[in-house]
Amino acid sequence: MLALTSWLFLPAFIAAGMIFCVCRRGRNPLWVFLPLVFFYLGSARAGSEMEKWREREKRLYEISSHYTQVQGKISFIEEEEGAVLLTLKNNRIRKMTKGNWDEVPYEHSKILVSLKEAGSVSSEQLGIGQTVMVRGEVQLFSQARNPGEFDFKDYYQSLGLDFRLFAEEMEIVDAAKSPLLERLRKFKLRSKELLYRDAKEEDAGIFAAAVLGDRKGISSEIKDLYQKNGIAHLLAISGLHMSFIGLAFYKLMKKAGAGFWEAGLLSTALLILYGIMTGGGPSVVRAGFMMCVGFYAACLGRTYDLLSAASLSLLLLSFHSPFLIMQGGVQLSFGAVFAIGGLAPVIRGWLGKDHLFAGSISACFAVQMMTLPVTAFHFYQMPPYGLVLNLLVIPLMGGVLCSGMGVIAFGAINSVLGTAAAGTGHYILSLYEVLLKTAGQIPGHNIILGRPDILVLAAYALLLTAGMLFIKMLGKWENGEKKEADLPKERKDKNAGRIPYGGKLLFLAGFYLLSILLFLPKPVRGLDAWFLDVGQGDGILLRTEGEAILVDGGSSSNKSLGEYTLSPCLKSLGISEIDYAFVSHGDQDHLSGVKYLLESCEDIQIKNLFLPYHGREDESIQSLKELGSKRGTCVRYLTGGDFMKIGTLSITCLYPGKEDVPGDVNGESQVLKMDYGDCHMLFTGDMGEAEEQRLLGKTDYHFLGEVNVLKTAHHGSRFSSSEPFLDAVSPAWAVISYGQGNSYGHPHKEVLDRLKERNVTVFQTGKSGAVRLETDGTRIRFSTFVDGNQNHGYNEGKEKE
């Protein structure tokens, strides 16, 4: 346990100093001591869970290579993209070994099963509470292998799910279902049917998300629109929804003559059932628990404290699953509550309670300031106008909820009544769409910030603390709460020197803009290059002196490379504009991501696009040219001998020249030489041995002996990286980009042997994830995104001078 918490000496030292200072002032040090105790207990709990996870992980890799059988009880059923997802608990796991089922000791209770009509069992026969036996292949959840990628492994681990099993066979061992849970599930399914029957499809998707917690019916366009404008929280069950439903029912019970206990207990029961029906996510549990605490306080005649209820909720949630607090959604949910309970009263006290919209402005400003670092850290971008939009849309959300619930209630009686009930919600949602699209036309509506480092987060915490203390001081000053002796003569009149309400709003706006400026991306020092793990393909991102350069960006194995890898990576690094993009040749595994950026990604602009001269007749290259022209990109064809200089970085196209005649598409590959001080990199695309020989036959480029970093051609194919070529280039490092388990067998053993014989240090994206190169022009340092043990972090590679 000491090893798990030894790094906590710094907060312990700080807390000890605080206790000493408090004791000297004669105050009770308990307020410092107790948080420290909880901090250590929480760390110990998290450390214990991590140790258990490491033990389970060893078993996971053991069963992932075997046909596996799992027997467990169904605790959750969900339909997704033609498949049924089951969550099984109380599981018994066996693996197939030499024709026999061997028991696997596995101390964990929940797994995810993906079912597509396995055996003779159909999805209609399944119900919550049944015990089933499934057999199939185990798939481990993927972890992030590039900057900015979503980490499915961490996400599902926080939910208590270790792996997914794709069921090929299934049988029901015990058909008994849980009556209550099954009724809730059936009610949810029936409610969803009524929503889609009586409301317009686009409205029904939002109704289902807001009322039932089912977001699968929302189009990607609407999701993107809400997220970019900072109101995506309206599409998830949260405190807004739970408080609306819980308080409405509580007040209804009170008006019906129920006492505090009867109304409180019935409302609590309703919230529990509603939370179970909607999936019981962390935000739902948080909101429901806080509402129940409020009802209990009313029953006892005690005052409800928002921050205490939220803290207790967080304590219980994190004790149950310590990894939940790493989820962006959980951080946003609790951050918003702590902002409303902690920061908003300070701001409102300064603005004055009687001023127009003071309460709404205080709450929205506080939430925006508290959640800004969370948004930047997890989503890499923020809508500066989101504060204003939330002021406009949140008050109307009650109408959407009422309309959605009305569709369900009245639609169960008559379809016409259900359609009529959908009208109010339809017009509100239409207004939302108009507001969001209008905001999207305003310059700067979405700012890409990148993921902030720990120093920026610490600086922001200090800035926010100082700002709130300053506002509190101003509030006391204006309200005459300082001692009269401390006030200057001209301030003896409490009403003198007050800041006008408009001036206060301008101050808050300035403070908000200053906070955003703190998160703006900073230019890198030297040259920073990422050889991305794109699967079976190539993608290299370079940054230097405020410029961003992309060399290829495609994959044949990752069909959503642009959306889920390339775009998040660029945003996490704070890149909203690619100054120069090079496409080596016309194969999809080198350009699919670039095509996505030009075609579907409005947040990232490519200024200059360089295409291969000999590929200008290729259909894929022509398509890129047309897309670039539509986006206002300057499109040029590159050929051997072309040269450009970007600050200290020099880029030369070595091959093929206009006079060369490539034999195939791979032979059209641009060969680029990039020089930054003593760092010399060679990018070879998919060039083969024949092109290597032609390149070595040229004497007018004088690149031999000046390469220390080689981007190995054609994903490590044995038909490239020939011995004469490697001898001529003589690199110190080589990077091979390929997809794990690809059907081509890349990288081929012959290539690895050739590199090993020449003492070349090799980095493989298929093993280590993205590979990073950093240089100041003299020293070169490599690091990898994922180490051999599948742990997060950056492992230092080889460093030479």
Residues 659-701 have pLDDT tens digits of 888 888 999 999 999 999 999 999 999 999 999 998 888 755 4
Task: Give the pLDDT of residue 344.
Answer: 92
Q: What is the mean pLDDT of residues 528-557?
A: 96
pLDDT digits (tens, 9 = 90+) for 336-373: 999 999 999 999 989 887 777 888 899 999 999 999 99
Q: Which residues have a Cβ under 8 Å from the Cβ of 669 and sit 6 or more positions away?
A: 584, 585, 612, 684, 685, 686, 687, 691, 713
pLDDT greater at residue 542 or residue 54: 542
Q: What is the mean pLDDT of residues 529-551?
A: 96
Q: What is the mean pLDDT of residues 471-481?
A: 79
Q: Which residues have a Cβ under 8 Å from the Cβ of 443 and sit 6 or more positions away?
A: none
- Which strands, in side-by-side order, build the sheet including 733-736? 643-646, 649-655, 671-676, 679-683, 709-711, 733-736, 761-764
CA dist 500 and 618 (Å) reads 65
At 498, is the pLDDT very low, low, confident or very high (cuts 50, 70, 90)? confident
Q: Which residues have a Cβ under 8 Å from the Cβ of 526 and sit 6 or more positions away?
A: 544, 676, 774, 775, 776, 777
Task: Give the pLDDT of residue 480.
Answer: 64
Residue 260 reports pLDDT greater than 80: yes
Beta bridge mates, 554: 538
pLDDT digits (tens, 9 = 90+) for 219-236: 888 988 988 888 888 888
Residue 405 reports pLDDT greater than 80: yes
Residue 571 reports pLDDT greater than 80: yes
Prediction pTM value: 0.88
Task: Give the pLDDT of residue 259.
Answer: 87
Task: Give the pLDDT of residue 622.
Answer: 95
Task: Give the pLDDT of residue 235.
Answer: 84
Task: Give the pLDDT of residue 189.
Answer: 92
Q: What is the mean pLDDT of residues 6-19?
A: 50
Spell out where 273-334 has E strands.
Answer: none
Q: How would you class 663 by CB atoms within 10 Å of its CB: exposed for 0-12, middle for 13-18, buried for 19 or more?
A: exposed
Q: What is the mean pLDDT of residues 767-791?
A: 84
pLDDT digits (tens, 9 = 90+) for 73-113: 999 998 877 788 899 998 888 888 888 888 888 776 689 99
At 430, is the pLDDT very low, low, confident or very high (cuts 50, 70, 90)? very high
Residue 650 reports pLDDT greater than 70: yes
Indicate the range of 109-113, 314-318, 476-480 predicted with least confidence.
476-480
pLDDT greater at residue 124 or residue 614: 614
At 702, is the pLDDT very low, low, confident or very high (cuts 50, 70, 90)? low
* Contact by Cβ (8 Å): 542, 548: yes
Task: Give the pLDDT of residue 493.
Answer: 52
* Contact by Cβ (8 Å): 260, 195: no
Q: How would you class 801 by CB atoms within 10 Å of its CB: exposed for 0-12, middle for 13-18, buried for 19 or more?
A: exposed
Give the number of other Cβ atoms within 10 Å of residue 206's Cβ: 27
Per 3-state DSSP, the chain is made up of helix, strand and coil in percentages (nearest 5) of 50, 20, 30
Task: Give the pLDDT of residue 704.
Answer: 59
Q: What is the mean pLDDT of residues 619-645?
A: 95
With a pLDDT cut of 90, the percent of the chain lying above it is: 55
HSE, side-chain direction, 13 A CA sphere, residue 594: 39
At 474, is the pLDDT very low, low, confident or very high (cuts 50, 70, 90)? confident
Residue type, 532: L
Task: Give the pLDDT of residue 706.
Answer: 81
CA dist 387 and 369 (Å) reads 10
Tokens of 375: 């948004």
Indicate the range of 70-79, 139-148, 495-504, 615-624 predicted with least confidence.
495-504
pLDDT digits (tens, 9 = 90+) for 149-177: 999 999 998 888 889 999 988 899 999 99
Tokens of 491: 């301030």
CA dist 155 and 147 (Å) reads 16
Q: Is the dihedral of CA 556, 560, 562, 567 positive or negative?
A: negative
In whole numbers, what is the pLDDT of the chain averaged over residues?
87
Task: Give the pLDDT of residue 26.
Answer: 58
The torsion angles phi and psi of 513, rounded to 5 degrees, stand at -65, -40
Residue type, 63: I
Task: Give the pLDDT of residue 481.
Answer: 53
Task: Give the pLDDT of residue 60.
Answer: 82
Residue 587 reports pLDDT greater than 50: yes
DSSP 146: S
Residue 487 reports pLDDT greater than 60: no
pLDDT digits (tens, 9 = 90+) for 786-800: 874 333 333 344 444
Q: What is the mean pLDDT of residues 250-278?
A: 90
* Contact by Cβ (8 Å): 159, 78: no
